[in-house]
Structure 1
Amino acid sequence: MNHRLPEQLAPHPAGGGAAERTGPRLWVVVPAYQEAARIGATLDALARQHDRDFTLLVVDNASTDGTADIVRRFAARAPFPVRVLTEPEKGVGCAVDTGFRYAIGHGATHLARTDADCLPRPGWTAAARATLTRLGEGMVCGRLDARRDEHGPLGRAAFRTLVAIAAAFGRLRPAHRPRHGFRAPYRMHAGNNMAITASLYLAVGGMPRRPSPTDRAFLNRVRRHTADIARCRRMVVENSTRRLRAYGLVGTARWYLDLGSGRHTADPR
């Protein structure tokens, strides 16, 4: 099912920590496609985490712009182990599923995901680990904000408005009501700011292997299986607003509401 190439183990300083941990083993998975211009900032944001006791796995979705090379150079100075995996089957769902299953196969008990154009704030991994530990088996969704280096106050306000509209639409959507077999109420879930236990990920069948958007379909898989879905406001990721620039306000709203991307490509990268 997974059309992945052999792993490439990037070098890291001795004593990275994650391999020595005897308790829950956290892996951070970052799918990436043509992200040479942005992934450096994402890697630096991960290096600034308060909790750096994790393994970073970047899943390169067959980029041609040197994305993976940037990750390998970062590995030489990273304060945690770094691995690079190539997934030739295009689609963010394919890259995420391959990465999560690889991490689980190599000992991960807890999985966190962000994207290669996002900036997790310094308390992100600590909040993810703490919430998953409290749940025992479950999933946690964090809070999104807009990157300050891509838009001014008006652009960031527009982004927050779109997220709020999408969340409200999801709660009101008839297909998301309990009568459809859901064990938890609908709550906005962004794939670039989530964490899940390995056992739950496998139990629900994993991420749909398809291009974006995949978040809502995955959330509903989890909602049909368990009510242990938490929201953690301390788990914050600054999200890229480039889709807003590429699609415009109306086009971005259509995409968030699952109405398609219209005349735009599904991926503005």
Structure 2
Amino acid sequence: MVTAGPSALKAGPPAGVAAEARATGAVCVVLHDVCPSHWAACRRVLAAAEACAIDAGVRLPVTLLVVPHLHGDPALPPDYLQWLRQMAVQGHELVLHGLTHRDDGPPPRRVGAWLLRRHYTAGEGEFAALPPSQALQRMQAARHWARAHRLPMRGFVAPAWLMGPGSLGAACEAGFRHTCTLNRVIALPQGRSLHAPSFVFSTRSVWRRVLSVAWNRLLAWRVGVLPLQRLELHPHDADHPAVRRCWEGLLQQALRHRTPLRLGEAAELARRHGQDVGGFVHQT
């Protein structure tokens, strides 16, 4: 299931892998909200993804988005921590995914912001409305947590991909090498990016699951020719049969033709071949 050791991320994908990815296209598999309370569900998703890779006859590296203290929970079981270290040693990528994954920033003042932050993201867009100084403080705290537990993390992805004004600059100042939004993979600090829309599912209700499956099938038709695809999974995406069948089908199709990359490797391609996004800070 592993393509290379974690040291490969320091210089990006090997030349042969990079050339193949540019020639055939690439796919990133990213698992969000990795934390002790979701550990069992995360392993179910990873097992399903690995089964797809075995069927396709390829090795699949996965990017794990790790939340240090989900909703303020300080629990850190030793077995879970050892599992994270082992995943990194095996060649998977660990990326920081906020600090608490909870939006406790200034309350929204407009209807659109209220719908986005309170309904669409269910109050989990931690960096959606933080001023730059607070965003930097949380990123630094998250990096300190990772270093204290000997977890290699060079990237940062904001919960729900929502970054308020100044958060991108804060990520650069905190020393992160890459990030992403819903539709772009961004190399830091240069800010060069690749357009890469995400397949992502919402499983909180029946109607969300139905719409997610329909939308992702349509998206597959629309973005099939793009150089980079991203399958952005969440812990309970293996627990709902229709959702699981949909993303497994998307992954199986991608693995037949595309080179699997970690998010950091995709960001290195953006660094070399992407567009300059300049002052880009929001989720689109």
Whether the TM-score (by the shorter chain) exceeds 0.5 is no
- Report the TM range for the smaller structure's normalisation: 0.3 to 0.5
Q: What is the TM-score normalised by the length of structure 1? A: 0.34
Give the TM-score taking structure 2 as reference length.
0.32
Tell me which protein shows more helix as a share of its residues. 2
Structure having greater relative contact order (Cα 8 Å, sep ≥ 6): 2
